[in-house]
Amino acid sequence: MPASYKWTSLRKTTKNSGDFPSINVSTHPLKVEVVSMKQSSNKSFIENINKWSAAFEEADPLMKFEQIEAEEEISSLAKIDIQTNYSQAWSKRRTNILNKYTTGEKLTIVSSFLPGGEKALIRQVSNLNEKVKHRLEQLDDFDEDSIRKTMGLSQQEFVTKIKMLDDEIKKAWNTEQRVRAFKICIQCSKMLSDVNVMQFYPSKFILICDILDNFGNLVFHRLKMKSYGDKVIKSPLDIDSTLVPEAAKETCQNWIFKMASIRELLPRLYMEMSLLKCYVFIHKDEIKPTIRRLTKMIRGIGNPLVAVYLRVYLCNVASKLLGKESEEYFYNNLKEFLEEYQQVFHPMMVKKYGTQLLTPDQYLTLYEPAVNWLIYGTLNLDRSKPLLLELLDQCDETENNELILNCIVASFDSQSIIENSTRILDMVHKSADKMVLLSHILASLGEHLCKAESYRKLSSEALSQAWWKIASNIRSTVDFLQVLGPWLQFACTQLSTQHTNIILRGTIRFMLKCGKPAEEFSSNFHMVIKRMLKSIPDIEEVFLMDAFMPLLELVQTSSARTVMAKTVLSIFFERYNAVQIEDPVVISSLMRLCCILHDSISAVTVEDESKVCAELINKYVHAVTYQDDFEQQLNFYVECRSAFIKLDAVLVALVHSVNALACRAGRGRGRWLQRACAAYCFVTVPSLHCALTKAQLYLLSGQAALLSACIGQAEANLKALVGIIPDIPQYIQEDGQNKSTHDRLVGLLSNFLSTLLILPDNVDSNCKAYVLSGFIKLMERIHWKKTDSLYYTLLLKILDLLCQMTQEKYAYHIDFVISNDDLYGSEEEFIDSIERYATNICQELLVVLKLLGDNKDTKKQYNLSLELFWRVTRRGDLNEPSMSSLAANLWMLSQKLQDSNNKFAKIMLTSLEKDKNQASRQLFAKLKSD
Amino acid sequence: MTTNLNIVLKRASKIYHEGDVIAGIVVVENSNDVRHEGLTLAMEGAVNLQLSTKNVGIFEAFSNSIKPMNLINTVIELAPAGKIPLGVTEIPFEIPLRARHPLPGAPAGCGLLETYHGVFVNIMYTLKCHMKRSFLNKPLNTSCQFFVQYKPQEAVPCKPVRCEISPNSVRRGGGGGAGGGPMPRFHIYAEIDSTVCALDRPLTGKIRVDECSVPIKSIELQLVRVETCGCAEGYSKDATEIQNIQVGEGDVVRARDVPLHMVLPRLFTCPTTSTVNFKIEFELNVAVIFEDDYLVTENFPILLVRSR
């Protein structure tokens, strides 16, 4: 291959744009699309994902669960509305009870049907002498009826034992040992008289009820089999007792006699309830009187906790059997409970829960599920006087009415509670000092009020004031915050900002007065703030309340403050409706929060964490606007830069914003602002970490400066870009993966080269095409592999640029910027130096070609030779012998490597053939002849 | 070579009134042909009296148990001597239930007493099937109990009874209290809906604790039988518990009616009976037990009847 070919560029005659065939189009790829898409705030990331994944039939399995749950919730809600499906409603409560009432205390089971355990101390007769007794005891070990006491069981062990007993019942039943099953069942129900670990009692109740239900079903199904065989019977009430065979009746009667002779009251009642539905085999009409009788007999149970749960079981049995008709029994039992209400506060009970180290409110919450259930069953009962009023009247007359009140508020629908809210609040006010469930009542009352659609303003204020009077006297801070949440929401939605502000001020006072640092309650506090932010109609108003920011600052530890700031910011941006923020108060408040967020970032902060912070701060940076006060805006950016220096992402956003500002400012008023902007960028970019980002920003800032005709600044930026290229690594870490910078670099540098075309030369420098020459020099020195496509692609692009630079008039310009074509006017010296560069580049390309050949990289070699051939024929002056021979050589090389059937090569030939230029056609002929 | 005899009554409840016909089948189940010397069915009914050990001293002259009184004894032949083929053979039978002679003391026109299982008095009715076989083989026997009840009489009027239990009433009664120490202050009101009770109805009433200075542990209802054996010259009278039912557990609410409800157990109860040789009577005890096991009881004699 010849050593050197002198490059001569073809000078094309300038064509006016009209010479090219042109079509008017409405869209083109470069068109600036004004997408007026308001980032819909509450559309979260997940929703966006959803939108895209909707096309796939299979939903994400996790999402699926969520959907199913949501659907269930909806369907169950619908069911509750109907109010007839008690079992559905109960099973929901059942789970709640099991989850809520747990214990770490040790439990005890007394049973004769479980293996192991100590011998019970309870022994019936003992008038035998010790020796005989001991022998008998040994014998008893084999006897299953000896009562054993298993102590020190954990809750889990207890549940397992109960399950074992349940299995034991089934086993005994299936092996015809029905009396044994009956005995186990009695023992199980006896366990319910034990209130030693009270906080587990509701759960224990549930577990044992399951056993009783199972047993009841076993008996019932056996009787059904005896009477009807396998015939399906929908409801027990469909059974006609006159059609039941005598044998089945007799069996049933036997069960009832057996049950009636149980000595102890509690097991007898439980067993009778579990066998209640068997009465259909004897006499259906007996069921209702029996329920009534049982309702009264429960009075004999002295312990109120045991009694109320017994009532719950009775109502459950009744509701399963009678459906909606059971309301009457719910009501009766509720009445009975209320009559015996004072028993709950019996000194003996107080002593009992005292020794179990329960607080009064813990003790009272044990009643909650039971009473709620009784009220729930009564809700729909038609009565001359609404139940709510009746109960409230009762409350008025009752001492210690907090438990009833609490259950009323928890059970009734919001509408009725709201109507009576003033009355309830009055009642609470009267005895607020000694109420232990005060916070529960107030909180749930608040929840109801939050659901109010539009409440009369006047009474809202009165309510809120009344509430505040009570709330401000709450002793425990946690309780106070629990109550504050819903009421603050109520205030936000129903009352004026001033009012809410007053509450906030009060809160600050309370928190200061309570004497404990606010950190201790930060999570509760956090919830309250979150709730308020979510409920306030106009989120901007939050910052207009003078108490809000001080409230946030109450928390002193940085971690808690960061969490708070993050929450406030994220909710703010979620709910903020406008795209821009103009209010200076809001801006400064947000600035403060952003600073808190930023200050929390340290060397040990995880990447994701800082990413989230950066995202929030970016939203802030983007949203703040000072409209036409550009100077103020720039000052704001300067301030931001100093405030958020630790976050690269924010700096990047700032640079973008400043560039946008520069462009927005236009060329109108002097150019100081644009210069300041360019300078800002130039100064800001170096503090970033990622070289590639830096390069991109330099380019962008250079272009922005050029656009506003700040040539000096543009040159400085582009020069800095050239300087930074060697620092760009081959791979960068992104989302935990190594990504090649290759493609991005090619794109970036191509963009850079295109920009260079219009950048006017620095007249002071004696070098033509100053920045470009620097870039070319850099390419010589750079450590890239010469056979790397990155390297030679760039060389080709430089060649393109050089060819374009020799033209008399460049393809594009920026107004008010005098590019080199006008600057030099195609001066000989300039063209010469440019062509010298071209020759060198061409030379370098040939070296690359050779290296590729040496490496046997034929494909690359072939492509490169064709590319170069194309440039020579298109951009080179083929009249020059050196050029045409270079072209011919390159063609031959490419043909040698691969036949000319390549589409690309063919097109080149055709275009050569059709060229008007004489030299081209000559070259074509020459190539053909070869 | 096994043979099983079994008596199956038509009536599942096995309850018969005097004058009814006891119908059923005797099931003979054998794995071979069986030769026998006759199959008979006997119906027996008897009152067994036993003297309590407590009174044995007085009655030393007598034997410990008195000769049972026969109420009924009928034998019928089900099959003459012959052969019963292999497999299951069912032989139906019918026996009218009729007393041998009217019994003194029993309701008019009644020669039979109700089935009753007690401690010292037992009234039992059985069907016994007997298969005689050749001298090399043991005879086969099987038996089956059935129950006799009076025909329900006209409903009797209620006789409600009420009482108030207080320290004073206890002292006046001179009993009931157990355990020492000063008596707590209390006032309890109890009511039985009727002292004349139908056997197939539960016994009902109510109890109310109006005042009680100490916590209550339990309120119980005790059914007691009083059996008297012997005749004018010497007899034993014993009261034993039939069943004890708790109606109140723990310290029940004051001034609230707690229902009393007791289902009378079958077999262990019968209409109050009084004959020349023995008497069966019933009583009801209402017991209130205080936290310190102090016991206060009130006794109500009751009359049990078989009525509608």
Which of A73-82, A400-409, A692-701, B61-70 is the least confident region? A73-82
Top mean pLDDT of A261-275, A609-623, A829-843 is at A261-275
Q: Is the Cβ pair B258, A299 closer than 8 Å?
A: yes
Instruction: Report the residue from B11, B245, B249 with minimal CB separation from A301.
Output: B249
* Helices A497-513 & A477-494 angle (0-180, nearest 10): 170
Segment B282-292 mean pLDDT = 91
pLDDT of residue B174 exceeding 60: no
Segment A464-488 mean pLDDT = 83
Tell me the C-alpha distance between B143 and B127, whole Å. Answer: 5
pLDDT of residue A671 exceeding 70: yes
On chain A, the residues whose CB falls within 8 A of the CB of B249 are: 193, 264-266, 300-303
In A, what residues contact B, Cβ < 8 A?
A: 193, 245-247, 249-250, 256-257, 260-261, 263-266, 268, 293, 296-297, 299-303, 306, 339-340, 343, 346, 348
Tell me the C-alpha distance between A694 and A684, whole Å. Answer: 10
Which of A6-20, A160-174, A697-711, B89-103 is the least confident region? A6-20
- Percent of chain A past pLDDT 70, that is, above it, reads 87
Tell me the C-alpha distance between A164 and A173, whole Å. Answer: 14
How far does B230 lie from chain A, in Å, by closest CA? 31
How do the domains of chain B map onto residue ranges? 3-149, 161-305
Handedness of CA A624, A628, A634, A635 (dihedral sign): negative
pLDDT of residue A661 exceeding 80: yes
Which of A176-190, A288-302, A523-537, B230-244 is the least confident region? B230-244
Q: Taking CB atoms and an 8 Å cut-off, how many pairs form between chains A and B?
A: 80
Q: Is the Cβ pair B249, A265 closer than 8 Å?
A: yes
pLDDT of residue B195 exceeding 50: yes
Q: Is the Cβ pair B263, A260 closer than 8 Å?
A: yes
User: pLDDT tens-digit profile of A71-110?
Assistant: 665 554 444 444 457 888 888 888 888 888 888 888 888 7
pLDDT of residue A548 exceeding 60: yes
H or E segment at B125? strand B121-131
Mean pLDDT over the full length of chain A: 82
Q: Is the Cβ pair A257, B251 closer than 8 Å?
A: no
Strand partners, B229: B236, B278
* CA contacts within 13 A on the Cβ side of B112: 24
pLDDT of residue A205 exceeding 70: yes
Q: Is the Cβ pair A265, B258 closer than 8 Å?
A: no
Site from A124, A190, A279, A299 to mutate, B interface, most B CB atoms within 10 angstroms: A299
pLDDT of residue B11 exceeding 80: yes
Q: Is the Cβ pair A302, B249 closer than 8 Å?
A: yes
Instruction: Report the residue from A246, A264, A348 with minimal CB separation from B246.
Output: A264
How far does A279 lie from chain B, in Å, by closest CA? 15
How far does B234 lie from chain A, in Å, by closest CA? 32
Instruction: Report the residue from A247, A256, A301 with minimal CB separation from B250.
Output: A301
User: pLDDT tens-digit profile of A19-75?
Assistant: 555 667 777 777 765 655 554 445 455 555 555 555 444 555 566 666 666 666 555
Please give the model's pTM, rounded to 2 decimal places.
0.74
- Percent of chain A past pLDDT 90, that is, above it, reads 17
The amino acid occupying position A19 is D
Instruction: Report the residue from A250, A256, A293 with minimal CB separation from B13.
Output: A250
H or E segment at B228? strand B216-231
pLDDT the model gives residue A146: 59
CATH 1.50.10.10 holds for B3-149: no
Q: Residue A758: name the closest of A812, A798, A832, A795 by CA.
A: A812
In B, what residues contact A, Cβ < 8 A?
A: 11-13, 202, 215-216, 219, 243-253, 256-259, 261-263, 265-266
pLDDT the model gives residue A128: 45
* CA contacts within 13 A on the Cβ side of A6: 7
Segment A240-245 mean pLDDT = 85
User: pLDDT tens-digit profile of B26-37?
Assistant: 999 888 888 888
On chain B, the residues whose CB falls within 8 A of the CB of A299 are: 252-253, 256-259
pLDDT of residue B232 exceeding 80: no
First-residue to last-residue Cα distance in chain B: 51
How far does A282 lie from chain B, in Å, by closest CA? 13
The amino acid occupying position B66 is I
Which of A242-251, A337-346, A872-881, B127-136 is the least confident region? A872-881
More confident site: A658 or B103:
A658
Instruction: Report the residue from A193, A296, A306 with minimal CB separation from B259.
Output: A296
Which of A115-119, A232-236, A738-742, B2-6 is the least confident region? A115-119
Cα-based angle A125, A126, A131 (whole degrees, multiple of 5) = 135
Q: Is the Cβ pair B247, A265 closer than 8 Å?
A: yes
**Which phi and psi angles does A589 have, rounded to 5°?**
-65, -45
Segment B170-195 mean pLDDT = 75
| Alpha-carbon distances of A827 from A806, A807, A820, rounded to whole Å | 9, 11, 10
Q: Which two tokens stand for residue A691?
A: 């070289």
pLDDT the model gives residue A62: 63
Confidence of residue B200 (pLDDT cuts 50, 70, 90): confident
The amino acid occupying position A65 is F
Tell me the C-alpha distance between A368 and B162, whole Å. Answer: 39
On chain A, the residues whose CB falls within 8 A of the CB of B251 are: 302, 346, 348
Same fold, B3-149 and B161-305: yes
pLDDT the model gives residue A39: 47
Confidence of residue B25 (pLDDT cuts 50, 70, 90): very high
Site from B253, B257, B268 to mutate, A interface, most A CB atoms within 10 angstroms: B253
Q: What is the ipTM of this complex?
A: 0.91
User: pLDDT tens-digit profile of A4-23?
Assistant: 677 777 766 544 444 555 66
Q: Any alpha helices (H) in A175-326, and if so which ranges?
A: 178-191, 201-228, 246-260, 265-274, 287-297, 304-322
pLDDT the model gives residue A120: 43
Segment A784-792 mean pLDDT = 82
- What is the CATH T-level fold of the domain B161-305, as seen in this structure? Immunoglobulin-like (2.60.40)
State how beta strands B34-36 and A731-734 pair.
unpaired
Q: Is the Cβ pair B256, A264 closer than 8 Å?
A: no
Contact assessment for residue B222 and residue A261, using Cβ atoms and an 8 Å cutoff: no
Contact assessment for residue A381 and residue A387, using Cβ atoms and an 8 Å cutoff: yes
Segment A818-832 mean pLDDT = 82
Confidence of residue B234 (pLDDT cuts 50, 70, 90): low
H or E segment at A792? helix A789-805
- Residue of chain B minimizing CA distance to A297: B259
| Alpha-carbon distances of A104 from A98, A152, A198, B9, B259, rounded to whole Å | 14, 11, 11, 58, 39
Site from A266, A343, A349 to mutate, B interface, most B CB atoms within 10 angstroms: A343
The amino acid occupying position B247 is V
Cα-based angle A581, A586, A590 (whole degrees, multiple of 5) = 95
